[in-house]
A and B are shown apart, each in its own frame.
Chain A
Amino acid sequence: MATKTLLQGINDALHTEMGRDERVLIFGEDVGLNEGVFRATTDLQKEFGEERVFSTPLTETGIVGAAIGMAVYGLKPVPEIQFSDFIYPAFDQIVSEMAKFRYRSGGEYTCPMVIRTPYGGGIRGGLYHSQSPEAYFTHTPGLKVVIPSTPGDAKGLLASAIRGEDPVIFMEPKKIYRAVKGDVPDGDYTVPIGPARVAREGTDLSIFCYGAMVPVCEMAAEKAQEKDGFNVEIIDLRTLYPIDETAILQSVRKTGRALIVYEAPKTCGYGSEIAAIIAEQAVDSLEAPIKRIGGFDIPFPYTLEKIYVPDAIRVYLGIKDVLDYA
């Protein structure tokens, strides 16, 4: 067990899985010699060689399309898309091909592969280095979508994704790549894809969140405890699809109040699905309306990033709002 950053957790998983399984290949823009623009692939080319870890030409269609072909042939490609903002040139490959290969071939052909991509705000990247496109992928049957918020989960979930049989979009909260530290078990370690995690136990209100919003919600929950004596529960969803409905319903039935926090634009964002699940299956246990806090329904701004991304203040106000409801 060692204390690592989230980024090191990811690197650890890549190392470990490459060591375990020769079918694992890593490629993407600048991931070889340069070890990725965020250095997620540090030492991998050195250790495993250019055959297994290489930088590609600048074509996301090529990266994902070629990975699909490899997966169909039995390899386990783990391509990187440098920023999730640049995943759209590969959207067709992801949505029409990767997601549907198994289904359309009656299970004859499959695409076990993992697309890793950093997402979200936090680096002052403006419109095209900050987006959170998870809902496009959770809206696509055939894909699993995973977003870790702790270094240990980053390693364990990525390892599970690589060992799995289905295509996974593995989105990495770049804002907390280095800001978050935590225990990461050495060697072989997996965290199952599916179950959510209780990040903070509480009784008064449930917050549902994932990725970079988890530490923000934790900060707001601490403040609410300190200032108002509110006892807030936080559910870190970890896997967005398949969704852990049981954990969501259990928590909301306990607290009777739900706040959902995500950084993507609010309308039709992933949090809308959580709200719908609660409304459909647990409306009888609600003591206040469900509340969503999301990014505003605008493109991601540069100078005003700090106002755009939900912060602890906005979440704290949301907590008060839901708990003040008589």
Chain B
Amino acid sequence: MDRGLTLDKHKGNTSMSDNLLQVIQDNAKTAKLPPGLSEADIKRMYEGMVMVRAYDERQKKLQRSGRIGFCVTSTGEEAVQIGTAAALEPADWIYPYYRQYGMLMYRGASLDVLANHLFGNTTDLAKGRQMPAHYTHKETNFVSFSSVIGTHLTHAVGTAMAAQYKGDDVVVATYIGDGGTSSNDFHAALTFAGVRKAPVVFFIVNNQYAISLPVEKQCAAESLHTKGAGYGIPAIRVDGNDIIAVYQAAQEAYARARRGEGPTLVELLTYRAGPHSSSDDPSRYRSQEEMDEWNAKDPLERCKRFMQQLGIWTEAYETQLWESIREKMVEFTNAAEKIDEPSWETMFDDVYAELPDALRRQRDELIATESEFPRDNEGEFPL
């Protein structure tokens, strides 16, 4: 297996038609600021990536000690999230799947939005109904999604068509894994978007695996970005661990959409450095060598190198950054853990705008037994 070799072919230019867009030159001594980005912008993006990495560290710890039931991490995919988020405007919409929650933090959601969801407590915006990793956040136009792979892609196109119809300056960014490109809705979404010239950007997060299935067994095409051509959608392949390249590609794709030129397909080559989820054991299907090879291309390390080349990174900055962020992670998750779980009757809310009578009866019957038989222990029979 030599996935990853493509990332070594340095192109170093920013043309949309290239086979692999890359900006960061790992071995250079110095670098110039990329057009349109300030030192502060780059630092902000780096800090965004550190937040995601630290959040994942915290999730893993909580899951391993049994304090949360399940977690999904996105280690190795921070540049994908932060690079594409940084190029968006606040009014733009996001149709994510479960590995893009870093965008939420970057777009200003408070950490307790994420932490409360991990615990499914009474202040969780999803009201404890979805398993962890299924965030929703209307304030930042981060749309709720199901676990069913691919289904959100057509929604993204529809929302883009609606914005276009209303004349709003809104672009929709949507995400799909390499596995998800095989779903029915991927086909339907590209079909619609191409024909209607919808202002939507499809990001294929090619992290090399769909659970245990390597991308070369997912699709026989040499590269997933070639899927755009069949639908008349311009496509580009980008080094997804190079945050500057990701940012630039996203920026240009969003700009095309805003100009009314229609959708773009962006394949972001990256690597799922962690397990698929806390239930997965990657040692069953991939080698340590392969993981090491990709870890050498870690997006945080590469951004750090770029900042060093720019002369805007110091050890002290790094240490202080991690310390303050780690502290925040502990603080917010500990607070979320103390908040009660949703009360029984809330289970019946939001099924409909108004509670139908038959459902009200089911609810009332259940509540009537609550005091009689408190269920404190799952599976226990406290009689």
Q: Write the residues of chain A forming the contact surface with B, with a CB cutoff of 8 angstroms.
A: 29-30, 32-35, 37, 55-59, 61-62, 85-86, 88-89, 124-129, 219, 223, 227, 266-267, 296-299, 301-304, 306-308, 311-314, 316-317
Contact = CB atoms under 8 A, between A and B. Distances in A.
Contact of A58 (B131, B218, B285, B363): B218
B344 A307 contact: yes
Given A298-B359, A307-B375, A124 B70 contact: yes
Interface stretch (B73-81, B146-154, B155-163, B248-256): B146-154
Contact of B378 (A128, A266, A306): A306
A126 B362 contact: no
Contacts of B363: 296
Task: From B128, B347, B366, name the one whose CB has the most chain A CB atoms within 10 angstroms.
Answer: B347
B342 interface: yes
A266 B362 contact: yes
A129 B375 contact: no
Interface string B119-143: 0110010001111001000000000
B184 A89 contact: yes
Contact of B212 (A34, A125, A314): A34
10 contacts: A34-B284, A35-B284, A57-B179, A58-B213, A59-B184, A124-B131, A125-B131, A267-B358, A303-B341, A306-B375
A223 B284 contact: no
A73 B307 CA distance: 61
A57 B213 contact: yes
B146 A128 contact: yes
* 9 nearest A-B pairs in the assembled complex, by CB-CB distance: A303-B128, A126-B131, A128-B147, A34-B212, A303-B120, A58-B179, A57-B182, A59-B182, A58-B182
Contacts of A296: 347-348, 359, 362-363, 366
B359 A129 contact: no
Contacts of A223: 381, 383
B148 A301 contact: no
A223 B348 CA distance: 29
Interface string B166-183: 000000000000011011
Contacts of A219: 381
Contacts of A316: 383
A307 B345 CA distance: 10
Contacts of B320: none
A90 B348 CA distance: 29
* Interface range, B side: 35 or more
Given A127-B129, A298-B351, A302-B120, 19 more contacts: A29-B213, A55-B212, A58-B180, A58-B210, A58-B218, A59-B183, A124-B131, A126-B131, A223-B383, A296-B359, A296-B363, A297-B358, A301-B128, A303-B121, A304-B344, A306-B378, A313-B369, A313-B375, A313-B381
B379 to A, nearest CB: 8
Nearest to A297: B359
B279 interface: yes
Contacts of A30: 211-213
A296 B217 CA distance: 41
Given A33-B285, A129-B147, A296-B359, A57 B130 contact: no
A304 B341 contact: yes
Interface in B98-137: 120-121, 124, 128-131, 134
A85 B373 contact: no
A86 B182 CA distance: 14
Contact of A34 (B124, B285, B342, B373): B285
B12 interface: no
B69 interface: yes
B219 interface: yes
Contacts of A88: 148
Given A37-B279, A57-B217, A302 B128 contact: yes
A223 B383 CA distance: 8
A223 B380 CA distance: 12
A304 B179 contact: no
Contact of A304 (B128, B183, B213, B358): B128
A58 B348 contact: no
Nearest to A34: B212
A139 to B, nearest CB: 20
A54 to B, nearest CB: 9
B348 A298 contact: yes
A89 B182 CA distance: 12
A289 to B, nearest CB: 15
B228 to A, nearest CB: 18
Interface in B345-381: 346-348, 351, 358-359, 362-363, 366, 369, 373, 375, 378-379, 381
Contacts of A126: 129-131, 134, 147
A299 B381 contact: no
B373 A313 contact: yes
A157 to B, nearest CB: 26
Contacts of B347: 296, 298, 301, 304, 307-308
B160 to A, nearest CB: 23
A58 B130 CA distance: 22
A89 B154 CA distance: 14
Given A57-B217, A303-B120, A85 B147 contact: yes
Interface in B191-241: 210-213, 217-219
